[in-house]
Amino acid sequence: MKVLYDTILKATYIGRPNRFVVTLDLNGESVLAHLPNPGRMWELLFTGVTMYIVPHDKPDAKTKYRVVGIERDGVVIMLDTNYSNDVAQHLIENKLIPGWEEWRVVRREYTVKLHGTSSRFDLLLTNDKGDEFLLEVKSCTLISKTGAMFPDAITERGRKHLLHLKELQN
């Protein structure tokens, strides 16, 4: 597993035209970057804050860069939700989570369809007995001195996920 990015650039936050795009100042040039974390992040996104970006790895991407982190009080907070999924998969595949040693990743971005609606989950796991396990990996950016809070906003997608998981459990 690749733990670090090849190139990380520092940029300054200017604004957020939509949930998935930010405008940044990169060495005096205004650039757009894909923001993979759609959370509100009101406690992080202030004009002038330092963000960390990487060149986009998809040649046909709408933006040249992708946000991977943001600085708050001298600490870098990971905003790359795809990287969180990579870490989870690495931990599972290398049997580094106690109690999960029998599980392996079968598929990423697994879609479940129920009653005409669908939910996409981060990982589908299985074991040698044929059991299946849906895993949703979460990144948490809303923090305080006493803990972390998730989600930072109520979402219809999150509600639908919970309803689908409850139904699948039955």
pLDDT of residue 152: 67
Q: What is the DSSP letter of 160?
A: H
β partners of residue 142? 149
For residue 86, what are the domain limits? 81-169
**Same domain for 29 and 100?**
no
What is the number of structural domains in the chain?
2
Q: Which of 63, 78, 93 is the last residue of a domain?
A: 78
Q: Is the same domain home to 17 and 94? A: no
**How confident is the model over 16-75, as pLDDT tens digits?**
999 999 999 999 999 999 998 888 888 899 999 999 999 988 889 999 999 999 998 888
For residues 72 and 118, state if they share a domain.
no
Mean pLDDT on 138-147: 75
Cβ atoms within 10 Å of 31's Cβ, excluding its own: 17
The reported pTM is 0.73
Whole-angstrom CA distances from 107 to 65, 120, 161 are 27, 11, 18
Query: For residues 149 and 58, what is the distance between their CA atoms, to the nearest angstrom?
Result: 32
pLDDT of residue 1: 41
Q: What is the pLDDT of residues 84-142, one digit of tens each?
A: 898 999 999 999 999 999 999 999 999 988 888 888 899 999 999 999 989 988 877 77
Asked if residue 86 and residue 19 are part of one domain, the reply reads no
59 in a structural domain: yes
Co-location of 85 and 165 in the same domain = yes
Question: Which class for 19: exposed (0-12), middle (13-18), buried (19 or more C-beta within 10 A)?
Answer: exposed
pLDDT score at 68:
93
Amino acid at 124: L
